[in-house]
Structure 1
Amino acid sequence: MASLVQRLGGESFQRKLLIFVLLAVFITTILQFIFLIGNFQRITDFALEQNTAGAEQNAEEFLRNYAEEKAASTWLQLQAAQSNLTVLGQTAQQLVDNYPALRAQPEIFNLMLFTTQVQAERGALTGTPDERFEIFVPPSLADDPYVLDLLEASALLNLSMEAVYGANSNNNFVYFVGDEAAPFTRGFPKTRLIDAVGDQLDLDFWDDYFPGAVAGWSRWYNDPELQAQVPSPLTILGPYADAAGHGQVLTLFYPLWNKELNRFAGAVAADIQLDAIIANILSFQVARSGFAFLVNGQGEVVAMPQTGFEIFELDLQEIGEGSLTYYRGELSQSLNPAVQQLAQQLTQHEEGLLTIDLAREGGAPSREMLAFASLPALSDGNYNPDRWRIVLAVPEAEVFEVLTQTDAAVNAERVRISIFSLGIVLASLLVVTGVAIRFSRVATRDLRLLATAAERISAKQYDAEVQLDSKDEIGQLGHVFNAMAREIRDYTNNLEQMVAARTAELRHANAEITRLNEQLRDENVRLGAELDVARRLQMMVLPPIKEIQAIRELDIACYMRPADEVGGDYYDVLQIDDSVFLGIGDVTGHGLPAGIIMLMAQTAYLTLSQSGERDMERIAQVLNRVLYHNIVRIQEDKNMTLAVLHYRERELTLVGQHESVIVCRADGAIEIIDTLDLGLPMGLEEDITEFVTTKRLQLATGDVMLLYTDGITEAENVGRKQFGVEGITNGLSNYYRLDAAEIVSRLTADVYAFIGDGAIYDDLSLLVVKQK
């Protein structure tokens, strides 16, 4: 650009300046305009992308949460039915286990509630009109004494059957069916099964309606490994069309077992109507045509609205239950490859979110967003997991319809703003051109004087100065030029003296820095030695493992980890004759003074326990006076929380203020004992007699007592959250059955796992005592 200005400007500096300014302004303005318009377009594009991404994320999160909510609400209904049937099943199993004793008390069956009123009808036995419960005995069993005896005994289930039926609005029929030799039915409510089965009175319940079910249940009762994998014998069959005319039902079975004869003893069951469950699922609606459907663990559609039937191109079976109409079938049978792939995804994953394109070949895209979530696994007749899934489907175009409209509106506004900005830029360039012409005339007036003075300076005539009348930037440049000329003149005359003075200053500063470095190094060595002594003192006074293991009545394990900056944690275990003395404490502050105070406490406690003193209040008072006077003597503003305990013949006496004492009983019950009212911090006051009280505890075999310092509860993770007493009690509840050493190991592992990459600011100390 400089050569272009030179050619256009000729010999006139004013013209050169004008051309240069105009070129600089025009080029800069045009480039900035292009850059800003480009950035504006990128910003709007980015905003649209972020808006789209946010909308996608919100839509996905909504669908995922809604699927999980639908799965949870569906599971609550099924879980309630399972829980109610389990209660009836456990009651029936008790009757089976005590059957001989019940038959030995025939007067029980004289009670009105337990009487069985039957009548012969078409060769079968059914309940009389006055009988409130459903009874059906096939003709082939009507005269069988074993069947009649079992029928009479089954009346004991009347006590629970009606309540179980009424506990769940989805229950259609709750009933008991005898074993393979006596497959009669007793149930509630009364439904006239003899009319429902029609001419098929002699069909065997187990062989004809549920073949193979008994074999699966027998395998569960004889396979401990299967029982460990599936704790409940309850199984689910269906959904299917009920032979008794109750529509689509799901049957829950709780099989019973004769433990004495090791054989099947019948089952209690509940036929669950699916109308309410399916209606809840099909009620989902998002946008204009979103829908939900239910799939079982084999990928079969249990219920789908007509919308899904049409878009998935499925050959489904239409089912009408009153005002409710839905479809059943298999996704894998669809002619659309995307739907077939969806069927595989549903059987392979428990939950997920995906988008599929249902467009026919050569047709426009038809993308559907799908979210699915699983119910907890049910057990089929062979105790294989049957995990049902709730699937939500919403057309992607409907979800992002508003975004598409917003995109078009933003693009139109972007074009309008760009045209308006271009007009502003052109007008600004015209104004700048006029200003530049005026500026070039004024700016060149005093430049010649400056050029002449500069030539004199270059010729080493340092007394050159200029006198300019201009008060603008050129005038300021003249003043600066004069100042520079004077400074050059002064530097030239005094350069050697300035160099010598600066060298002396640097030498003095270097000597001072060296002295300070040596002083800091000595101080670091002293502090390092002090911290090392404090750490060694802290660890030396801890009780050795051999002394702890020599205590026969108690299983004791201890742990201490000093912090990077030494703290004042202390614990002790002493066996004196038939007594055991325990102690745990924490000195305020860190460093060598804290370690010395901790050593004072250990020495005083050891001396008092060896002296034969057994009054724990007296021990606490003397300990406090010793520490108080020693702390005053060493002129430290510190104190110490300290709890001391005396154990003898399964009884603990506790005194002193410290962290809470946690006791986990052998049955897992947690007790938290607050020590706030058992004393004051040691060394804070000279006499704490009026504040000292004791607390007595009894320990039974298996009971665990846990003592700790605040380094455990105040341990923080990277999120500044503390481990807390809750973390200790949760761990103790999980590990109290282990020996003391293993409890300590597990608890410390929990603490370190909680801290993670966080810093450890204080000592960590644990003392676990378990009664043998």
Structure 2
Amino acid sequence: MKSSFVQRPSAVRKPHKSLSLRPLLIVPFVAQIFLAVGLTGYLSFRNGQQSVNEVASQLRREIVARIQERLSIYLATPHSINQINADAVRYGTLDLSNYNLMMSHFWQQIQAFELMSLIYVGNEQGEYIGAGREGGTITVDLVSESTGGYYHAYLPDAQGYPAQLSNTLSRPYDPRRRPWYIATVENQSPIWSPIYTYFSPPALGITATRPLYSDTGELLAIFATDLSLSTISQFLSTLKVGKTGQSFILERSGILVATSTANPPYRLNEKGEAEPITGDRSTNPVTQATTRYLYEHFGSLEQIQQPQQLAFKFNQERLFLEVSPISDRYGINWLVIVAIPEADFMEQIHANARTTIGLCLLTLGVATVAGIAIARRVIRPVTQLNQAVSAIAQGDLERRVSVTGIDELETLGQSFNQMAIQLQTSFSALEEVNRELENRVEERTTELRLANQEISSLNEQLKEENVRMSAELDVARKIQQMILPKEQELTAIPDLEIAGFMEAANEVGGDYYDILQGENQIKIGIGDVTGHGLESGVLMIMVQTAVRTLLAVNERDPVKIFNALNQTIYRNVQRMNSHKNLTLSLLDYWEGNLYLSGQHEEAIVVRRNGEIERIDTDELGFPIGLVEDISTFVGQHSLYLNPGDGIVLYTDGVTEAENSDRALYGIERLMTIIQQNWSRSCSEIRASLVEDIRQHIGDHTIYDDITLVVVKRRA
């Protein structure tokens, strides 16, 4: 039965353009998919390019930094050896006239310094004494009146004394005619010689020299240590520079010093002798092209005073460059260059771009077909629903909607059919829901009240637990302070003046230092447990006890000491189910000789005149407690302290101390304060360092433990 009611005249509507639902469903759907996929592909390609540039930049900087770090060691070691030898003669430890003793001394040094190819001395009488490596064999060498001025190489006995004649050169050898000797006489100071051909070619090298003069200014001898350029090339060849990248080193004059490639950085003349070549004459095309580009870009290699990141076209592809200067006060003035082809990084990016384009086209086709099918399926029931709604609007209230195929449209049709009944039902349901909500609110209020009571009880328990833990931490802190070396222990050491300082960032610190005096031996230790707090403090106490135990049993072998100490700590850490470990350095002192073992921060050696030497401990050990056996990682570095010389040890809490601007204190500032105050007592030096560190930190939070040990040999 149809309902009857009065219909009002329809308002006159202005004609307007209408759009069909079919294109509205298909076109935006396809366009959005195509735009999204295309934009994603484009952004992925651009981001990939940017990432490649960033990765290439970071890789170049990292490789150059590693090269500079290793070169600093290579270039500092020969001059340190010469200094030690010159001081030994000056103070009477060595006698230039005792050939056997000198050869034994050099024989011991050449074994300790594996990177050096020859350690020797020459004098104004044409005499030459040294020790060197020949094809994996160490020989002791002599040129004197007894050899008739000829170069004699001997196989040494167990003490390093000449035992058996190994080789005699076919011509006389006069050190005064060698480039290293001539250059040192002209400069009258320690220098690096120019690159020259070794006496036994084919090989090129440089020589670090130090002249020794008498009190009247007479030249007594020139101490020298050879560094073969092939040693630097061998190191460069071990570095992986991308897939096909390479590194090389140039002098400012353009001469090729070393290269990571198999192409030799020299050429052989008619006599079979090695002669230096410039980078643009290298047989390697990348080295040759890079050197020429630097000349074209800067005009002169002398213009490169700061690290440079450059790129140029080589074989139709971009070649990324990192150029960084390296120099020292003895005459080294080189450029470290790393070259990486862009193709090493872009191959995968281009492949991804091709894949993205293909997927875009495939997606567009699939989206078009899917859009047409979906539009047909949606439009048919919508048309039926529109007809039914129009009939109801005209007063046919008995008209029912019959829509099938799409759940949402079926539900919409049923909603029209049940609208009147559901309105009344909805009101009744709303009242029931309100009552139910009120009951739930009351129940929830009761639950919250009970939960609040339980939280209050837990808070009281937490306060009691905090009081207990605070007391335990206070006891641990007192124990930690009790085992630190006392002032009277330090002043009782006759040959050394020592001052130490430790401040924990928390109630209990993870830093460790100790000075122990045993039979004919003084042992100095410094370490840093990861993190801080009670667990780190307990581990520090374990280390201190273990070190004292090893000293008590008079164990001196650094490998045995560190391996036993590591196994003890490793097993305790495993038992504690902890992830803590520590860096640790131990120093043994005896009559001016100092032996350093273990991996920790750099050790700062300060000479009486304020000259500073930095000792890298990365190759001397391994973190304690990380693995069960570290015996293969333990090494030892030895040096000699003259009266007034000393050493400064520290933890990373010093160099990484931050101020409010997040700036670090740094190793350079630490060395500056040490140099400015080295003429003062160790206690005064320590006070100056602590005061300067506190001024740097200011009101900023101290995040790590701060530990310092200052040692100076008494005059």
State which structure, 1 or 2, has the greater radius of gyration over its C-alpha atoms: 1
TM-score, normalised relative to structure 2: 0.38
TM-score, normalised relative to structure 1: 0.36
